[in-house]
Amino acid sequence: MLSTKKPREQSGRDTLARFGAQIRSAAIASLEILEGKEIDRVYCDLHDDFVVRKRKGTDFVYIFYQVKTKSPVNYQWKIFDLLGLKSRGNQDCDEKIDAIKSSFVGKLLLHTVVFEKACENVIFQTNIHIDQNLQSLVDDIESNKYENKHSKDLLAVFNACFCKELKDDLSEESIKEQLKKLQFHTDVQYVKLDNDDFDSYAKKSIFKYSEVELGHLEAKEILIKLLHLINKKSSGIIKNITPATIESEAAVSIDDLLSILSISKEAYNLLISSGDDKAIKSISIIQRSLEKANADPNIIEFCSKCKARWDIWTMNSRHEIHELHLKAIKDRVRHVFETHLNHYNSLRISLLQPFVDQLLNDLESSNLKYDLTHEILIGGLFSELVRVKSS
């Protein structure tokens, strides 16, 4: 019966679908935090659909994203759609100013004025393409020629559009710098309304940025948690805007992602402090091997600490121990692992202990012990585990 009558409206379903695209895009952006490089935060539904924070030296810069989807999929965004400027006919100066200020692009360009140098880019992200006229406008701005009718309009009325936010008018060169921050990401697969590739794309992103391999069911569970996190961070009104409330209610950080990946924060921090630039992958391998033997979190943290001590010891020993001696020590650690431990799918501390005792005695009898301890050698064996599982 319900299928025989046309619904009065379905705007709610359409709104949810488009919000879902925003959530998916923010989720993909947040995974880049796993790389442990410049990007360290994604702020959800704050100032724009989401904002990416990057560390530049001692400062932070921000990339503002606006996600817009449109049907049908063969439609192409036009200049009028995104800027409010007509390709044909005339608009007086006031009409152009009002049109740009209220447009999608105008709202993005506002960030370049409000946040000044802290705004690195403003990005319009969409599921479809832009038409040739709009592409010509983009190319004209990027080439710094300003021969296009609409790029000339933007240059001419920029100060008037943002006069309330500007303390002083910007020079023509400064306006061009702000306009160059505008980018268009088109035909983005994971924001498409009928998207079926998000899971695959997200799984590949996790591996790209962390090198952590996930099984199908494990990946599914993690992505459900990730989307739930982004949805939570995008919902509700932040009544009292402070750095603390923004962090707690809108920000996605490495701590959130470690929790989703079920990776020990303490162990991760230990490996990061030891200079392990693939800390997430290292702790993931160590943790999974120990969990198969039903190790508790304290054991996982202990073994990660041992691995960190080994990393620090080998780094410091390069300057204190003869190169041949250091190589001999590493070879003996590798031999113990490959001979006695490599064939195990899981590792127990009780299994390691007799091999570590014997290794320490052998090194001492060969005058290679130096300041090595049981804990450092346990770390050496786990370093071998990470090497083998990573190859």
Task: Provide DSSP, 172-221.
Answer: HHHHHHHHTTEEEE-S-GGG-TT---HHHHHHHHHHHHH-----HHHHHH
Q: What percent of the chain has pLDDT over 90?
A: 68
CB-CB neighbours of 377 under 10 Å? 26
pLDDT at residue 6 is higher than 50: no
What's the rounded Cα separation, in Å, for the pair 375 and 361?
A: 14
Domain locations along the chain: 2-191, 265-390
What's the rounded Cα separation, in Å, for the pair 285 and 162?
A: 52
Average pLDDT on 20-41 reads: 94
pLDDT at residue 1 is higher than 80: no
Q: What is the pLDDT of residues 194-234, one digit of tens each?
A: 767 888 899 999 888 887 778 888 889 999 999 999 999 99
Omega prior to 72 cis, within 30 of 0 = yes
Helical spans, DSSP H, in the chain: 11-31, 79-83, 93-102, 104-114, 132-143, 149-161, 172-179, 198-210, 216-233, 243-249, 254-260, 265-273, 279-291, 297-317, 323-336, 349-365, 374-390
pLDDT (0 to 100) of residue 348: 80
In whole numbers, what is the pLDDT of the chain averaged over residues?
90
What's the rounded Cα separation, in Å, for the pair 165 and 172?
A: 17
Q: Which of 8-12, 87-91, 187-191, 204-208 has the lowest mean pLDDT?
A: 8-12
Quickly state the pLDDT bin for 5 (edges 50, 70, 90). very low
Radius of gyration of the chain (CA): 27
Q: What percent of the chain has pLDDT over 70?
A: 94
